[in-house]
Every structure is written in C-alpha cells, then in structure tokens.
Amino acid sequence: MEPPAGRLSRDADLACDFDRGSLVAVRREVERISRERGLTDLALYRFLIAVNEIMTNAVRHGGGRGRLTLWRAGGRLFCRVDDRGPGMAPPPPYDDRPPPPDSMNGRGLWLARRNVAGFTLRTGPDGTSITLEAGPPA
C-alpha cells in the first residue's frame, strides 16, 4: 500500500532524505514514531531491523543516500526506502533460507523480509524502492 500521491508530505508521519552521516538519527526517529503508532516489543524490534537493513543497503549499494517515507494506512505502518542507484538483479524467490555462507550479498534483504508482514521491491536503472509493512512475518 503506497502513500497517497500528491499529498505525501502532509500524510506521511516522516519523509526525509538520509546518507551515511544521518542513518542513526533517522533510525531513532523511525523508532520514536513507530512506538507512537503502537508498535512494541518484538514487532517494533523486527520492523527496526528491517528498516535499518534497507537504509544501509541504500547507502552502500544505491548511490550513498536515500529517501525514507513512513506512513500509516488501513491501521498498518509502512516504510518505503528509495535510492537512485543503478538498480539490482532481482533477488531469487523468497524461500526462507539464508543466503549461502560464502555469498557476499543478500543478507540485508533476507533479514528485512524475515522481519516484516509485507515486503515489496521495485528496481530498475534509475534506482530501487523497497516498501516494508510492519507486523508479524507472513
């Protein structure tokens, strides 16, 4: 579920750009808002792990920066991270197994998927967009 087009800044709980230097501050703000929106305990912890992994991937692989949008819809909390990197190869179908021990990549996406109720990935030559839905993993 995406935030309403054209009204994003007013309807989003948080919409901000980030880079390596601001990762910690943005994660703390996501945590604060998530708590205010009712996430607690394990659900909060899992959502923050997923958000952290996707933000870190945007910085490491997506051009050094990204944009985070956090919003509520239908009683659920969502977070989208967009970057302007070169895109990525589509990951293999999710089957709950971790990447092979000798794999250099893929653990962040695996961790994120394992810790949220919904995970949507869109990628292309102009960047990658990942949307996470808080809640117990599906």
Sort residue 43 into left (φ over 0), alpha (ψ -120 to 50) or beta: alpha
For the packed helices 41-61 and 107-114, what is the interaxial angle rounded to 10 degrees? 150
pLDDT in tens, the chain (138 residues): 555 444 444 579 999 999 999 999 999 999 999 999 999 999 999 999 999 999 999 999 999 999 999 999 988 999 999 999 999 887 666 667 777 777 767 688 889 999 999 999 999 999 999 999 998 776
Strands 118-124 and 76-82 come out as unpaired
